[in-house]
Amino acid sequence: MSLPSALEIARALLRFRSVTPADDGALGYVGALLQGAGFVCERFSFGGIENLYARFGAAAPCLAFAGHTDVVPPGDVARWRHDPFGAEVAEGRLWGRGAADMKGGVAAALAASLTFVASGARHGSIAFLLTGDEEGAAVDGTIRLVELLRARRERIDHCVLGEPTSVEALGDTIKNGRRGSLTGRLRLIGKQGHVAYPHLADNPVRALPRALDALLAPALDAGTADFQPSNLEIVTVDVGNPATNVIPGEISAVFNIRFNDLWTPERLAAEIRRRLDATAARYELAFDACNAVAFLTARGPFTDLVSAAVADVTGRRPELSTGGGTSDARFIKDICPVVELGLLSGNMHGVDEYAGLDDLEALALIYGRILARYFAG
């Protein structure tokens, strides 16, 4: 019986309407594929979120592929040229929600692993960590699988996460780290009153420019050799005042900081408070719980191996990058070195999301070369 191609697996996955937190059978399909190839599969449900851990072999070293089968909502389906869950193939592309982010990457890893296992060229173990909670709160997915493996003292030596990392051409970029993310919620406090009697009130809007200036300047840092400068962005400002004759009593602002490895969330929070204290404004400040700290997988044999596998298939040497948003690599890095390598990222989360057919099959070949190089060495 012939093994399924990356395209065949991807089309099957796209037809599952696995919009976070729904699974709709996606992980059951993956589990059946892996179990049929000899993987030991375990399903875990945490907080209603479905997760899958699968492993072929027990010997060291263990190389894992990680990813997610949940997707963001398609939005207005009428704006799509193809059914977002129809897995249509046209114009040399596979169309559908999750084609790029990241059912295509999962499919390529599955196709490569099934082929590698069937070849008998194996030494060590291959594992899969797959979740349905990456696009959601990310509290009942990969982080829980990582906790489980640590509790069982089950070792994974290295991991490839199939997030869409390519920018202009397949394999041109590998993520070997990520910035952290910290969200702050600021409330400037004044005194409500009548606009005709400003001396009896205290308008907090007047304090807003000073507060924002303090948050934005000077820059938090100048970046490092591996990371862009940390950056703070104001994402919303709200007075909540529908009246034209009332001076508001408070104004709120929300900001998010993407920070590099010069900072911890605690030190960053202290710096923000120091800056606001200097404005003499009356304020309240709270920070959302942070589970995304900056991390780096150092350049070395593993990053060299993955880069060489890309070159084997595409002829190009990828750039190592730590830019972009967060991913589940921030949890996996607690148990092993992890890099991210996947399809083109330009249309993820958008209308008419797609993956190039050639890119999909080439990514499976790259993953196959990673397996061959990893277990040969």
Catalytic site positions: 70, 134
Nearest to 329 by CA among 316, 318, 342: 342
For 178, which DSSP code? E
Are 3 and 111 a contacting pair, CB within 8 Å?
yes
Q: Which residues pair with 187 in a beta bridge?
A: 252, 284
Q: Is 342 left (phi over 0), alpha (psi -120 to 50) or beta?
A: beta
The two three-digit tokens of residue 99, written as one number: 């084609």
Q: Measuring CA to CA, how many Å separate 3 from each of 110, 129, 305?
A: 10, 21, 26
Q: Report d(CA 9, CA 111) in Å as an integer.
A: 8
DSSP assignment of 191-231 equals B-EETT-GGG-B-GGGGHHHHHHHHHSS-S----SSSPPPE
H-only helix segments in the chain: 6-14, 26-36, 103-119, 142-152, 208-216, 265-277, 301-314, 329-332, 357-376
Q: Report d(CA 231, CA 217) in Å as an integer.
A: 11
Residue 200 CB neighbour total at 10 angstroms: 11
Give the H/E segment covering residue 189. Answer: strand 180-189
Residue 91 CB neighbour total at 10 angstroms: 11
